[in-house]
């Protein structure tokens, strides 16, 4: 029996851990740390955001030791790419885990997300496949044909749920003018990305914004990974849910049984990003995958 590997994905809003002797997974954890809090405005990682993140890493370090892991890969994405004090973050990770975190490019982030998402699908999707990963600080669009081959197109855009919420949605609930400004930001980024969205025959959505919206469309009594993974959602149902969320206050969203309180403020912005992408795609449904960049990071260590 081989030793398990550990993959850590540190994004703008969450930090996630996977430990397993693949394809078997022993541990899958997620903590809402909001590492990217204020980065779009200040250009630096805030002290309290670093403290929350380091506390989660301390917890993960204990799990890694307990499972006898010999190989760890720590990938950091949008927030740390954008921050002026990234070295403070890197030093904190190094002191806790004894490894160097990789602050990967948007292109590499996209490729890892594609691998994790497509590998998980129970049925072979019709290609081209567009994998859509909406994070807190960035959104990745990855257009490819099959697993094991580099995606034909991989674009990382600096639009994410936390970033655009902080930039545009200051009222609670958001005002129409604020929503319109956010939509313009998303549309401009999509135009600049030059990704041919309507060429995709299959859309696969990954990561917290999309899985959370899936829970809402399914109207779950609580968040359920098993119910959400591989769910097929009608595009019109997603549009309707996003419109509903944008009309609610944060306190009203917190009461939704399927919504993690840590996403209550930013889910409207994340939902709008998804909605604008779906309006450009020539499909009427999207497949939701609970496997994402975290799984891609893990598989990169064993192949």
Of 103, 133, 154, the residue that ends a domain is 103
Domain assignment present for residue 303? The answer is: no
Residue 24 and residue 26: Cα distance in Å, rounded?
7
What contacts 248, CB < 8 A, 6 or more positions away? 173
- Specify whether 202 is located in the same domain as 280: yes
Domain membership of residue 66 as a residue range: 5-103
Beta bridge partners of 141: 132, 155
Residues 6+ apart with CB under 8 A from 95: none
Mark whether 155 and 95 lie in a shared domain.
no
pLDDT digits (tens, 9 = 90+) for 222-280: 989 899 999 999 999 999 999 999 999 999 999 999 999 989 999 999 999 999 999 99
Find the CATH number of the domain harbouring 33: 3.30.420.40
Residues 296, 116 contacting (CB under 8 angstroms)? yes
Integer-rounded Cα radius of gyration of the chain = 18
Residue 239: predicted pLDDT: 97
Q: Do 121 and 27 share a structural domain?
A: no
H-run or E-run covering 218: none
Q: Are residues 70 and 140 in the same domain?
A: no
| Spatial separation of the C-alpha atoms in residues 281 and 288, rounded to whole Å | 16
Q: How far apart are CA 212 and CA 231, in angstroms?
A: 12
Task: Spell out, as residue ranges, where the chain has pLDDT lower than 50.
Answer: none
Residue at a domain's end among 85, 103, 121: 103
Q: Do 251 and 114 share a structural domain? A: yes
Between the two ends of the chain, the Cα-to-Cα distance in Å is 16
Helices marked H in the chain — which ranges? 39-42, 47-66, 78-82, 86-97, 106-120, 161-168, 176-193, 208-217, 225-228, 235-246, 250-254, 267-278, 293-300
DSSP letter for 147, please.
T
| Same domain membership, residue 254 and residue 127 | yes
Q: pTM (2 decimals)?
A: 0.81
Q: What is the DSSP letter of 155?
A: E
Q: 241 and 150 in one domain?
A: yes
Q: What is the pLDDT of residue 23?
A: 87
Query: Looking at the 3D structure of the chain, how many domains does it have?
Result: 2
**CATH code for the domain in which residue 215 is found:** 3.30.420.150
């Amino acid at each position: 029996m081989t030793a398990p590997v550990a993959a850590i994905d540190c994004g703008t809003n969450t930090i996630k851990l996977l430990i397993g002797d693949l394809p078997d997974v022993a541990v899958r954890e997620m903590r809402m740390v909001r590492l990217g809090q204020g980065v779009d405005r200040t250009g630096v990682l805030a002290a309290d955001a670093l403290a929350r993140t380091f506390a989660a890493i301390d917890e993960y370090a204990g799990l890694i030791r307990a499972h006898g892991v010999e190989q760890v890969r720590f990938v950091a994405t949008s927030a740390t790419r954008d921050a002026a004090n990234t070295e403070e973050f890197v030093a904190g990770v190094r002191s806790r885990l004894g490894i160097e975190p990789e602050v990967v490019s948007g292109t590499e982030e996209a490729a890892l997300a594609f691998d994790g998402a497509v590998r998980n699908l129970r049925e072979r999707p019709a290609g081209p496949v567009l994998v859509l990963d909406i994070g807190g600080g960035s959104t990745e669009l990855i257009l490819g044909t099959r697993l094991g081959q580099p995606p034909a197109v991989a674009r990382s855009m600096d639009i994410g749920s936390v970033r655009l919420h902080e930039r545009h949605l200051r009222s609670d609930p958001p005002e129409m003018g604020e929503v319109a400004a956010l939509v313009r930001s998303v549309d401009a980024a999509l135009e600049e990305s030059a990704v041919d969205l309507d060429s995709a025959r299959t859309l696969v959505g990954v990561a917290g914004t999309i899985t959370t919206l899936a829970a809402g469309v399914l109207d779950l009594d609580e968040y359920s990974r098993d119910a959400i993974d591989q769910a097929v959602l009608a595009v019109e149902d997603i549009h309707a849910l996003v419109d509903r969320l944008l009309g609610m206050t944060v306190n009203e969203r917190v009461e939704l049984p399927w919504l993690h309180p840590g996403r209550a403020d930013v889910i409207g912005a994340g939902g709008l990003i998804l909605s604008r992408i779906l309006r450009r795609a020539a499909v009427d449904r999207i497949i939701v995958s609970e496997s994402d960049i975290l799984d891609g990071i893990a598989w990169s260590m064993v192949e």
